[in-house]
């Protein structure tokens, strides 16, 4: 009985621990989602504010807002493009490392531009604008180069895969339509026809029997006999006296006039 109670107590503690772990994970995921939402909302509000300042405020303050907006837009687009492409292409990890180093310079410049927005000395601010403009241009150009290189690499891979797929489909389509394909002419010269086999020669006459060997070989007789054989043959032999029988009548003498 004590063993059963111990097993149930162990299961209860186990399920309680799993419940606490799941609750912590869900709360953490919800908190991260809320933080991302707040950050996205803050970023959107700040971007709209900068866009409004760039159009509404003239002079150095408006140009500072334009520089910040250009820097933030370029860096954010590059970050999204690299992180989306690295899931399919592991070779972009090095590019992400370079972008992280570039991001450090970008954040430093963005913080400096943000501080200068509240600078009351407009003359000193105007003197520093060329250097700030050059730094912003260098950082955005590097970010744009990374972003477009990653996009071109993904597009190239997609085109190569499409070319391979098209070639395979054309081959399969040709195999399915095998009855429409005609054999290509053979460039080799046509072989000369083989000579037909000649008809067998006339067989020789059979050898004579053993008793006729002394008389020499005889050839088959021809349909026409030679004149010597014709002369040796006797003519029609004369008929001899006809025998008389007792029941026959005597011949009557011929009457003469």
With beta carbons less than 8 A apart as the criterion, state whether 116 and 64 touch: yes
CA–CA separation, 103 and 22 (whole Å): 35
- Digit-by-digit pLDDT tens for the chain (257 residues) are 677 777 777 777 787 778 777 777 777 777 667 666 776 666 676 767 777 777 767 778 788 888 999 999 999 999 999 998 888 888 888 899 999 999 999 999 999 998 888 888 878 888 888 999 999 999 999 999 999 999 888 888 888 888 899 999 989 888 888 776 555 555 555 555 554 555 444 555 565 555 554 455 444 554 444 444 445 555 445 555 665 555 555 555 555 44
The CA-CA-CA angle for residues 88, 90, 96, to 5°, reads: 105
- DSSP conformational letter for 257: -
Residue 17 structure tokens? 């621990």
3-state class (DSSP) for residue 54: helix
Structure tokens at 166: 């098209």
Cβ atoms of residues 139 and 105 within 8 Å: yes
């Amino acid at each position: 009985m004590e063993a059963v109670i111990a097993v149930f107590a162990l299961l209860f503690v186990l399920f309680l621990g799993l419940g606490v772990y799941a609750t912590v994970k869900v709360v953490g995921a919800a908190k991260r989602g809320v933080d991302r939402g707040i950050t996205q909302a803050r970023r959107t509000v700040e971007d709209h504010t900068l866009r409004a300042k760039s159009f509404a405020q003239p002079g150095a303050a408006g140009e500072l807002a334009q520089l910040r907006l250009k820097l933030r837009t370029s860096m954010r687009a590059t970050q999204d493009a690299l992180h989306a492409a690295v899931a399919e292409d592991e070779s972009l990890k090095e590019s992400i490392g370079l972008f992280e180093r570039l991001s450090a310079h970008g954040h430093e410049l963005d913080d400096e531009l943000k501080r200068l927005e509240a600078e009351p000395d407009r003359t000193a601010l105007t003197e520093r604008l060329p250097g700030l403009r050059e730094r912003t241009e260098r950082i955005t150009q590097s970010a744009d180069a990374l972003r477009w290189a990653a996009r071109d690499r993904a597009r190239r891979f997609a085109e190569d895969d499409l070319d391979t797929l098209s070639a395979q489909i054309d081959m399969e389509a040709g195999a399915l339509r095998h009855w429409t394909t005609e054999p290509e002419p053979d460039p080799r010269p046509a072989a000369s026809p083989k000579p037909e086999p000649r008809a067998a020669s006339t067989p020789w006459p059979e050898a004579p029997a053993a008793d006729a060997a002394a008389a020499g070989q005889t050839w088959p007789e021809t349909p026409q006999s030679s004149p010597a054989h014709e002369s040796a043959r006797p003519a029609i032999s004369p008929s001899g006296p006809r025998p008389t029988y007792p029941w026959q009548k005597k011949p009557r003498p011929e009457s003469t006039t």
